[in-house]
Amino acid sequence: MIDFNRIFTVGAIGHTLEYDPMKTIHSAAYALLRRHGMTTIFGNPGSNELPFLKDFPEDFQYVLGLHEGAVVGMADGYALASGKPAFVNLHAAAGTGNGMGALTNSWYSHSPLVITAGQQVRSMIGVEAMLANVDASQLPKPLVKWSYEPATAQDVPRALSQAIHIANTSPKAPVYLSIPYDDWEKPSPLGVEHLLEREVQTAGAPDARQLAALTKHLNEANNPVLVLGPDVDATRSNDYAVALADKLKLPVWVAPSASRCPFPTRHPSFRGVLPAAIAGISKTLAGHDLIIVIGAPVFRYHQFAPGVYLPAGARLLHITSDPQEAARAPMGDALIGDIAETLRVLAEGVEEKAKSYPASLPALTDVQDEPHHLRPETLFDVLDAVAPPDAIYVKESTSTTTAFWQRMNMRHPGSYYFPAAGGLGFGLPAAVGVQLAQPDRRVVALIGDGSANYGITALWTAAQYHIPVVFIILKNGTYGALRWFAGVLNVEEAPGLDVPGLDFCAIAKGYGVKAVHTDTRDSFEAALRAALDSTEPTLIEVPTVTIQPH
C-alpha cells in the first residue's frame, strides 16, 4: 500500500530526502532502476552502450545474450513471468533492428519492457556518423507504446522514469529510449531525487452501474459462454474466472492464438482453445445467446475463413484493459477496465445456477508411435505424468498446439507462454527469462526444430548463467505448421518447407549445454527425469511425427 501522505508531506515540508548522492546522469539512472527493482539488465552491448555499463553496480546482474533477438526474448519471458518491467539495453539502430522481430511478440503479449538503445554522441548525430541512430524515436514504431530521445542530457532521468511508468501501466507494453552515450557523464539536474519518490497507479475498475449491467446480462442469459484471454493470467485473475464458471456452470473457451493459459485445463467447464478463424469461431459458439470475452482481443484471427462474426442470436460483451483492442473489434459492446477487479465483482455478484457443468469432453485416444519417432501426444503424456504439477511450459512448436492443450493438465497461474504474435524465436530465449523470474518452478521449453534456430544462441546464456531450463526439441525435419498451411492453400510444392540435417545435440554441446537424443518413450522419460533432477540446463532432442495443428 502506498503512503500518499508520506509522499506528499516529504515534498511539502521540504524534508531532506535521504538518498545516496546522484551526481551524474549515470548514477541517477542506476538509482532509479534500483528503486523500481529493475536490477537485472538484459543486453548485448556495443560501443555506444559501454559508458552506461561503466562502474556496473555489484547489486545488479547483467544477462548477456549473443543476439539482440534473444536478448529481447529473454527479457520478454522475464517480464511475463514476473509481472514487472524488464530492462533491455540494445546497440543503436542495428541492435534495435535485430530485436524488433522479438518485439512483435512483446507488443501483442502486453509485456512491460523498458528498452534503451545507445546513441552516438549528440554532436555527431546530425552528420550521421557511424552508429548514429537516425530518427531514433521512429525506428521501433509501431511496436512500442512510447518512444523518445531526450532533447538534453538533463532530461534522461525524467525520461527513464516516464518510460518505466508507461511500460507498467495498463495496457502494459514495451517502450523505447534512445540515449546519446556522452549523456551519462553529465551532471544530474536539480530535483532529480524526487523521481525516486514517485508512484503511478491506475484505478480503472468499472463503476457500480456498469458492473450491475454486466451482472444482469449474465443472470438473464439462457446459454452464456465465457472466452478468456492472456490478460486474465497476466493479472492473476484465474481464480476469479474459476469462481464465475463454478457459479454459472457455463462452458469456458480460451481465446484463439492463445499465448497464456487463463483457466485450468482439467476443470469441468474447460472446452479448449477457439479456432483462429471467423467462420470457425462462429460455428464453435453457435447456440450461445451471450458471449463474454475477458482479457483478449475480439478476436486474433489467423487462417482466412470468412463468415459471419457472430452466430445467430448471440450478443458479445468484451472486457479489456486495452482501449485499442476495444476500439478495433468488429462486433460487440466493450468495457475498458481493470480485468481482475471486474472478474472478482462478477464472480461475487452473479446468481448461482442450479444446473450441471457442460458435458465432459471426449476421452483422449491412445496413439501409436512410429519406429524411432514419437508422436507428440506421447511426449505430452509423459510430460504430464512426470513434470511437477506447477511446471511452466514455454512452447514454440506450432504444429502441435491442439494436441498440447488436449493432453496437458495446467492448473496453476503462469504455467504457459507462447509467442503472442506468432513470431518465431520467442521460445528458447523466453524460457531462459521465465526461469530467471521463477527460480522456484521448473521451466520446460517445447520447441520445434524449425523454430529453435531463430533463438538458438539463448542456449549459451543458459549454460553460462547455470539456468536449469529443460529444452525439448521436437524434431520432425520440417516447418510443420507451414506444411499444414501449404495443404490448406493448395501450394504443397512450395520450396523452403523442410529443415533436414540438424543435429541439436551437437549444437547444444557447442554452446555448453548437456544434450541427449531419445527416440523411444522409455528413453525420453528417463532423460526427462534426469533433466528435471539437474541444476543445469539440459537439451533433449526427440524425433517426432508431423501432425496437424488443428
Query: Residue type at 350?
Result: V
Q: Rounded distance, CA 508 to CA 356, Å?
A: 50
288 catalytic? Reply is no
pLDDT > 70: what percent of the chain?
Answer: 93
| Residue pLDDT, tens place only, 108-130 | 999 999 999 999 999 999 889 88
Q: How confident is the model at residue 20 (pLDDT cuts 50, 70, 90)?
A: low
Q: Rounded distance, CA 292 to CA 229, Å?
A: 11
422 catalytic? Reply is yes
Residue 505: all three cell numbers together: 545435440
Q: Which of 27, 43, 65, 68 is catalytic?
A: 68
Q: Which of 422, 427, 433, 480 is catalytic?
A: 422
| Residue pLDDT, tens place only, 334-351 | 999 999 999 999 999 999
Query: What residues pair up with 370 in beta bridges, in sequence order?
Result: 373
Q: Which of 26, 43, 46, 106 is catalytic?
A: 46
Mean pLDDT on 269-287: 96
Domains of the chain with bracketed CATH: 16-197 (3.40.50.970), 208-349 (3.40.50.1220), 376-543 (3.40.50.970)
| Residue pLDDT, tens place only, 28-57 | 999 999 999 999 999 999 999 999 999 999
Res 546: pLDDT: 84
Q: For residue 211, is pLDDT > 70? A: yes
Res 500: pLDDT: 75
Q: Which of 15, 47, 123, 370 is catalytic?
A: 47
Mean pLDDT on 314-321: 96
Mean pLDDT on 530-548: 94
Query: Residue type at 353?
Result: K
Residue 421: all three cell numbers together: 504474435
Q: Which of 27, 49, 73, 109 is catalytic?
A: 49
How many CB atoms are located within 10 Å of the residue 495 CB? Answer: 5
Q: For residue 550, is pLDDT > 70? A: no
Residue 79's nearest CA partner among 459, 394, 435, 434 is 434
Q: Rounded distance, CA 394 to CA 549, Å?
A: 17
| Residue pLDDT, tens place only, 438-472 | 999 999 999 999 999 999 999 999 999 999 999 99
Residue 87: all three cell numbers together: 530492462
185 catalytic? Reply is no
Q: How confident is the model at residue 19 (pLDDT cuts 50, 70, 90)?
A: very low
pTM of the complete model: 0.93
Q: Which of 91, 110, 288, 318 is catalytic?
A: 91
At 18 the three-state DSSP class reads: coil
Which residue matches cell numbers 521436437?
474
Residue 463: all three cell numbers together: 549454460
49 catalytic? Reply is yes
Least confident of 13-17, 190-194, 241-245, 398-402: 13-17
Q: Which of 36, 302, 412, 550 is catalytic?
A: 302
Residues 71 and 45 sit within 8 Å (Cβ to Cβ) = no
Mean pLDDT on 497-501: 74
* Cis peptide bond upstream of 42, omega within 30: no
How many CB atoms are located within 10 Å of the residue 390 CB? Answer: 15
Mean pLDDT on 305-310: 92
302 catalytic? Reply is yes
